[in-house]
Amino acid sequence: MEPILVVRGLKTEFSTSHGILRAVDEVDLEIGKGEVLGLVGESGCGKTVTALSIMYLLQQPPGRIAGGEIWFRGLNLLAGSEDDIRVVPRTNAPPKFLPSDPLLKKHRARMNRVRGRGMSMIFQEPMSSLNPVLRVGYQVAEVLMFQRRQEICDRLLSRQDLTDQDLDLFRQAVATGDASERERLVADFCVRTGLRPDKVHALIDASGLPVEERVARVQRFAGRRRQGVGWWLRFLKRLDAMEETHYTREWERLSRLSLGQPAVDLFDPARNPRAKGLPPLATVSPRPDALRLYFRSAGGSGSDRRRGELLMPSEDLRARVEALLRESASGPFGAIFAIVKSVALEKDAIELRFRDPATDLFRTETELWSRRLLYRIVTSIPVVRSVLDRPIEEEARRHVVELFRRVRISEPTKVYDAYPHELSGGMQQRVMIAMALAGEPALMIADEPTTALDVTTQAQILGLLKDLRKRIDSAILYITHDLVRRENRRGRSRGGSLREPPSSVHAGPSPIDRVDGEPEARAGSPAPHDSGSRPRSVDAATGLPFPPPMRLRLRSVSGRGAQAPLPRSESKGCLPSLCGGGGEWRDLAGTGTKFCWPPEA
């Protein structure tokens, strides 16, 4: 399966008064699309630091990513960041971390493009992870409003026209005599059209009018709304299209950082004689499914650069390109190479059409940018923002209510308007999960999401994640110290087979619980671990899921030294809510450590 996140040799250190503490040492992991990977270890062994390093949320300094590679969708997120923080040796004191602010800023900006829609994170303590002065619904809606603004605009615009189905719903609502049935139909109608329920009710109750007249009025009403809101929405959408172009350009810049040479050279006539007449290819849309390729016109420079779309005239060509984009192991740039090799240079097969995104409302890109800047400044004033952004916020609100339903919050409309302190811990964690889902990320990192919760709520949240796994495409990196449970989740990764050790966090316990020195703990280990080498990737057939140091930690968790921890119930299998009750306990590779194993798929 195509890996979405590949971590190789990740090293993270902290500067302390006693010297440099290496919290994460040579972690390798790999997550495929839609997979769940469990990362297990005791407190303080570096699980959270690994996650924070992947998200680039680590506090730097005192933290420092000392080395390694993090490949996410074909982009090395750590490229160029070796010099972010230099280690300065000192004579009578431990070495000092000297940050380089411009570099850190650059790489933080790069990561900001990946977070949210690329990867998001659920934190340990839901109580402190929500802003106490904002309503929880707004906090989720805000993520939607800046991460998926165009989609929200589109959805809102598509609601503006009443379809025949909508009108049928309205007719049914008029015809029915049952009050609650009518209520339901009106609510449905309002969700589809974005009209206010009280207005619709008023129209339905206008019993003096014939039915068709009421239908005509609701149509007129929706039409007025379209005229009022539509222009403004299209303006906002245009601004956002601009931002997406900016996003694309940013991506282009980033890719140059990580891949060395961008794909642009392939279309450069100087390098590729077959590309004569074709303008140089600049970059691909960050969302491969959009199938929009941006080009730079041959003569243009600076802000005059025009961007175009690659249109696929024939259906099968389109399918080929889409397949290439989908299957590419190295992200959009790999896909570009592949397209260039197989498709793009069949010149006649491809129509290149240039469209200046600024032609509709604005003459130049500069004008568009100035409008966008003005809009940004104006909307930073709270009252003005709530007026200007109101149509979008109402739409985002509907979206958030749907999200809340999906994470099984029972009264989503009420929870939307609640402040965090009014919700229980489990509810807050659901909101956090909704927030992480809002950007529809490719990878979700759940960092001990159940630690602060009681057992019942834990089971609910786990059940929720399990359920969500079936319905969304996101891969999940699940971090926990609660061994038996989480192994189930790891074992349930797609395909049913164990592909990779769940984690290779090794040799990095904090000084307090340094366990690798205990000889008896190492006794059962088949291959003694030497700290210099990378952990071995173990074949699924031999069934050894952990590199040795990881197993050491497992034993110390049990609190019985070298003895194997006994599972709670050997005969009945594991918790039914986690793997359907059909699992069995297995002794892994003769280590004496037992894990709950899900039934074979």
Partner 1 sequence: MSTVTVRRGETAGFDMSGWRRRLREYWLMLRLLMKSPPAAAGLIIVLGYLGIVIYDQFFVAHNDIMLPNFSDPFPKAPFWWPGGTAAGGWMGTTYPGIDLGDAVLKAIRIDLMYSTFVVLSGAAVGSLIGVFAGFRGGFFDEALMRVTDVTYSIPFLVFAIAVAFALNKRDFLTINFILLILWWPPYARLVRAQSLSVKELKFVEAARAAGASDARIMIRHVLPNTLAPVFVQISLDLGVVTQIFAALEFIGFNAGNLFLPELGNLINIGWTIGFRENPWTILVPGIALLIFTVGVNLLGDGLRDVLDPRARR
Rounded Cα gap, residues 439 and 116, in angstroms: 5
Six token digits for residue 580? 């359907």
DSSP state of 573: -
Does 183 contact partner 1 by CB under 8 A? yes
Q: Residue 412, interface with partner 1 (CB under 8 A)?
A: yes
Check binding of 157 to partner 1 (CB under 8 A): no
Quote the CA–CA distance of 590 and 397 in Å, as a whole number: 54
Long-range contacts of 279-283 (CB under 8 A, 24+ apart): 279/308, 279/352, 281/336, 281/340, 282/252, 282/307, 283/248, 283/249, 283/251, 283/252, 283/255
Residues 343-382 contacting partner 1, CB under 8 A: 380
Site residues for partner 1, window 47-86 (CB under 8 A)? 55, 57
Q: Supply the minimum distance, in Å, between the C-beta of residue 147 and partner 1.
A: 6
One-character DSSP codes across 385-419: HHHHTHHHHHHHHHHHHHHHHHTT-S-HHHHHT--
Asked if residue 196 binds partner 1 (CB under 8 A), the reply is yes
- Is 394 one of the binding residues for partner 1 (CB under 8 A)? yes
Identity of the residue, 55 or 579, whose beta carbon is nearer to partner 1 in the bound complex: 55
Distance CA 377, CA 383 (A): 13
Among residues 163, 165, 314, 386, the one that binds partner 1 under rule CB under 8 A: 386
**Residue 371 amino acid letter:** R
Please name which of 174, 335, 190 lies closest in space to residue 259, comparing C-alpha atoms. Answer: 335
Residue from 363, 405, 534, 572 binding partner 1 (CB under 8 A): 405
The stretch among 14-22, 108-116, 311-319, 504-512 that binds partner 1 (CB under 8 A) is: 108-116
Residue nearer to partner 1 on the CB measure, 163 or 413? 413
Q: Give 65: exposed, middle or buried? Use CB within 10 Å, 0-12, 13-18, 19+.
A: buried
Contact 69, 42 (CB under 8 A): no
| Minimum gap (Å) between residue 71 Cβ and partner 1 | 19
Cross-strand pairs, 445: 121, 477
Q: Where in 115-144 is the site for partner 1 (CB under 8 A)?
A: 115-117, 120-121, 123, 125, 128-134, 142-143
The binder of partner 1 chosen from 19, 146, 473, 540 (CB under 8 A): 146
Query: Residue 394 or 584: which CB sits closer to partner 1?
Result: 394
- Give, in order, the Cα–Cα distances in Å from 457 to each of 131, 463, 467: 22, 10, 15
We find the least distance from the C-beta atom of residue 503 to partner 1, in angstroms, to be 20
Residue 3 in the binding site for partner 1 (CB under 8 A):
no
The count of residues interacting with partner 1 (CB under 8 A) is 59
Note whether 398 binds partner 1 by CB under 8 A: yes
What residue type is assigned to position 99 of the chain?
P
Residue 436 binds to partner 1 (criterion: CB under 8 A): yes
Cα within 13 Å of Cα(326), Cβ side: 7
CB of 566 to partner 1, least distance (A): 36
Closer to partner 1 by CB, 120 or 255: give it. Answer: 120
Q: Is 496 in the site for partner 1 (CB under 8 A)?
A: no
- Residue pair 504/547 in contact (Cβ under 8 Å)? The answer is yes
Q: Which parts of this chain interact with partner 1 (CB under 8 A)?
A: 55, 57, 101, 108, 112-117, 120-121, 123, 125, 128-134, 142-143, 146-147, 180, 183-184, 187-188, 190-192, 196-197, 380, 386, 390, 393-394, 397-402, 405, 411-413, 416-417, 419, 421, 432, 435-436, 438-439
